[in-house]
């Protein structure tokens, strides 16, 4: 079930070498034609090239799902992990190797269903991770089961008469957690916005949570169709501390100035369903970051043995 994907191209450690987006891809993504995961991968590759990140200095951690195939395609260290467990794996990695840039890729089932407990606590721990939730509103890999984010009434193999509950809103849930420090929403069909959002998330110090609305042409082809066809149903959140990209103002007429420091407005906007909102809902760099306050000091084998002996002595009878 779990496997480790290590994919480093043989790139010489030459400071003068400039990597382009294509240098960060190892092979063609194995997703269906029209899957939004392709767009997310492209945006990530652009980010890595913009930041000139070294493949050997970053890691991509995922769970299990179509979206979790991501690490196989990125030229970096990768851990294609266990369903729902990407966040604790990534948190442990960041604690042990703070010098690495750690990215996490999860599906909606991965993050908001089996991994929900980890999601809440990772948000509160606020480790310095860039976290992508690829939300196609369905379990894709296992072929069409209702997930927590499936819209009410939507039919699937597990809910043939339609999902009975209102969908869980990942933005609302994340914004409700103490110490949540960065929450944004973007969409795979607005690549310029997705790229700008990834850049802002990467630059944020702490748990940068991005919900990427992701098309699944196979099992949820309808869920985002209205918004894709009619840009007037989408409102961009804009601010000097938010994200924007050239040309977006021509496509999206509805723009709202929202200060990402305003948690009350962020929560109120996240729960509204009148329009689709893209942008940074909340960000605050001043919150405690777990890997900074609890950094793990490297321990030598001798120190480990001494520590064990101390503990054995303590419990000796």
Ligand X SMILES: Cc1ncc(C[n+]2csc(CCOP(=O)(O)OP(=O)(O)O)c2C)c(N)n1
Question: How many Cα atoms sit within 13 Å of 153 on the Cβ side?
Answer: 2
**Chain residue whose CB lies nearest Mg ion:** 107
Alpha helices in the chain (DSSP H): 36-51, 70-73, 86-96, 108-109, 116-125, 170-175, 191-203, 225-229, 248-251, 263-271, 290-293, 301-314
- If one asks whether residue 37 binds Mg ion (CB under 5 A), the answer comes out as no
- If one asks whether residue 188 binds Mg ion (CB under 5 A), the answer comes out as no
- If one asks whether residue 175 binds ligand X (CB under 6 A), the answer comes out as no
- If one asks whether residue 147 binds ligand X (CB under 6 A), the answer comes out as yes
In angstroms, the CA 219 to CA 61 distance is 25
Residues within window 101-120 making contact with Mg ion, judged by CB under 5 A: 107-108
- If one asks whether residue 159 binds ligand X (CB under 6 A), the answer comes out as no
Query: Which of 51-76 are b and which e, b meaning 16 or more Cβ less than 10 Å from the residue's Cβ?
Result: eebbbeebbbbbbbbbbbbbbbbbbb
Distance of CA 266 to the CA centre of its chain: 19
- Residue 210 phi, psi dihedral angles, 5° rounding: -115, 120
- If one asks whether residue 148 binds Mg ion (CB under 5 A), the answer comes out as no
CA-closest candidate to residue 81, choices 95, 60, 102 = 60
Judged by CB under 6 A, the residue of 64, 89, 132, 177 near ligand X is 64
Contact 66, 141 (CB under 8 A): yes
- If one asks whether residue 235 binds Mg ion (CB under 5 A), the answer comes out as no
- If one asks whether residue 88 binds ligand X (CB under 6 A), the answer comes out as no
> Judged by CB, which is closer to ligand X: 107, or 279?
107
Segment contacting ligand X by CB under 6 A, of 132-140, 167-175, 262-270, 309-317: 132-140
Contact 82, 74 (CB under 8 A): no
> Judged by CB, which is closer to Mg ion: 97, or 218?
218
Cβ at position 14, least distance to ligand X in Å: 36
- If one asks whether residue 83 binds ligand X (CB under 6 A), the answer comes out as yes
In angstroms, the CA 103 to CA 87 distance is 10
Segment contacting Mg ion by CB under 5 A, of 133-141, 160-168, 286-294, 300-308: 133-141
* Interface residue list for ligand X (CB under 6 A): 1, 64-67, 83, 107-110, 114, 134, 136, 138-142, 147
* Interface residue list for Mg ion (CB under 5 A): 107-108, 136, 140
């Amino acid at each position: 079930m779990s496997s480790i994907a290590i994919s480093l191209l043989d790139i010489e450690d030459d400071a003068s070498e400039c990597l382009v987006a294509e240098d960060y891809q190892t092979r063609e993504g194995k997703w269906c034609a029209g899957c939004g995961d392709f767009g997310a991968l492209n945006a990530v590759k652009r980010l890595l090239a913009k930041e000139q990140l070294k493949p050997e200095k970053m890691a991509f951690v995922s769970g299990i799902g179509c979206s979790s195939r991501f690490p196989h395609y990125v030229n970096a260290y990768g851990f294609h992990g266990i369903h729902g467990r990407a966040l604790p794996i990534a948190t442990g990695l960041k604690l042990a190797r703070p010098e690495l840039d750690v990215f996490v890729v999860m599906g909606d089932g991965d993050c908001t269903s089996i991994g929900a407990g980890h999601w809440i606590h990772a948000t509160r721990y606020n480790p310095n991770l860039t976290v992508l939730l690829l939300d196609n509103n369905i379990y894709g890999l296992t072929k069409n089961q209702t997930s927590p984010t499936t819209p009410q009434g939507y039919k699937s193999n597990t809910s043939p008469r339609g999902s009975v509950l209102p969908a869980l809103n990942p933005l609302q849930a994340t914004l409700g957690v103490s110490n949540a420090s960065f929450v944004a929403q973007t969409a795979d069909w607005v690549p310029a916005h997705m790229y700008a959002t990834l850049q802002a998330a990467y630059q944020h110090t702490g748990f940068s949570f991005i919900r990427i609305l992701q098309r699944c042409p196979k099992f949820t082809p309808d869920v985002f169709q209205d918004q894709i066809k009619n840009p007037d149903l989408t409102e961009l959140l804009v601010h000097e501390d938010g994200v924007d990209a050239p040309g977006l103002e021509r496509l999206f007429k509805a723009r709202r100035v929202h200060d990402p420091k305003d948690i009350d407005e962020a929560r109120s906007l996240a729960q509204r369903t009148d329009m689709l909102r893209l942008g940074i809902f909340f960000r605050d760099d001043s919150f405690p970051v777990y890997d900074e306050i609890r950094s793990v000091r490297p321990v030598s084998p001798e120190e480990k043995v001494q520590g064990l002996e101390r503990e054995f002595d303590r419990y000796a009878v």
